[in-house]
Structures are given as structure tokens and as C-alpha cells.
Amino acid sequence: MCGRISQYSGIHDFVAALSMPNALANSVGDQPIERYNVAPTTQVALLHLQGGLLLAEQVRWGWRPHWAKDRAAPINARAEKVAHGPFFRAIWPHRAITPIDNWFEWVDEGGPKKQPYLIRRRDGAPIFCAAIGQLPDADKGPSEHDGFVIITADSAGGMVDIHDRRPVVLNPDLAREWLDPATPKERAEQMVLHQGEPAETFEWFKVDGAVGNVKNKGPGLIQPVR
């Protein structure tokens, strides 16, 4: 986890659920995003703070430091290591939220192909994933080196049957604290280690195998199948 997500709500819907009073600089657009099968390495709507301004921007999902050119850019970072390992040291202070509607996981159920499952909040609210990255500068604009990773933690409860890892999902209060540059790094580490939303916050169900092909884009991908 996490290898495929959906962002179909509008950025204003995500921001409203976040309840942030900051002025918004929105380069994502005002219409619903309507992306049901978002893959790594593509541009993904991201929220971050700079100078008291909330920025909504498209940033590439995946990042690696300049000295690691011999390996693929990771798309996730483990909560247990992200704050202290050398790989993500440069971007650990640069926190963001990846707002999503759901994510997908694949389970081996003995068939010819793994079965995809959609995971979403039971209450239907947006999902705020803790992320870090090399983020666009509000003054200088985007850079070719920009990118982000989603922080993951061990799964718990019934979610373990779907996948052993899950994104660290923060409630709106914690998401605002996570975004605040004034939040100490030590506090940020404790948030991703211990304060992610519990498994019972979520529900999951089988969806059509068509989601496995990134060329498939429609809303039918998020509908349950028997």
C-alpha cells in the first residue's frame, strides 16, 4: 500500500472538510477532479501550507533524493522509519495532505488474478492521507524535481486481511496540525506513529478487476461487485 487511489470530489469539497480558514491558492481547478483510477508517477492533487497560504496543486506521486538515481522513486514511506532514515531526510520537514475519496488494494483469493478491493471511510467523508514531499514553491512555481510520498503504517483489525499496510489517515483536526509548519517534527512523528484513523473507520468491498488497468478511468470502477 498504497498503490492506487481515487480523487473524484472537487478540491473545494476537500478543503471544506478540512475546515481551514487560510486563503486558498488553487491551481487544481474548481470542478470535480473525477479521477477514479489514479496511478503512481502521475500528477495528484495535494494540499500544503506556505506562508499562511493553503496551496492546492498537482504534484507527481513519487520522489527520490538526487543521490538515489539508481532506484525507482518510492511512492510510500513507512511511518516507523520516515522521520530518522537518510532517504527521506530532506523532505521530512515538508508536510502535505493527499486528499482522496478511496484507495484500492489487491488480495490473492486463489483465483487466476488477485481481487481488487476499494477502501473508503464508512461515513463517506474525505480521506486525508499524511504525505511529505519536495513541494512547489509559491513564489518560484513548480520544479521538475517536485514529488511526494504517502506515509503508511501497519494495518490493524480486519483491514489486515486486505493488506498489511495502510495509509496514515488523519482526522481534520490532526490534518490541520500536520500541515502547520510550526508543528514540531517530534510531534509530527508521533502523529503518524500513533494517531492515524483506526481500522473501524473504514469499510471495503470488492470491485471490478478493470481497475487493474490504468487505462480504465470511469466511475464504474468504484462500484461494488458480487
Query: Catalytic: which of 57, 105, 186, 189?
Result: 105
Residues linked to residue 59 through DSSP beta bridges, in sequence order: 44
Nearest CA-CA partner of 44 in 135, 176, 118:
135
Indicate the residue type of 219.
Answer: P
CB 153 within 8 A of CB 165: yes
Q: What letter would DSSP give residue 156?
A: -
Among this protein's residues, is 2 annotated catalytic? yes
Q: Tell me the C-alpha to C-alpha distance, in Å, between residue 153 and each of 6, 130, 159, 187, 200.
A: 20, 11, 12, 16, 15
Among this protein's residues, is 200 annotated catalytic? no
Query: Catalytic: which of 2, 34, 109, 144?
Result: 2
CB 148 within 8 A of CB 61: yes
Sequence-distant (6+) residues with CB within 8 A of 211 are 4, 37, 104, 116, 221
User: Could you give the residue numbers annotated as active site?
Assistant: 2, 105
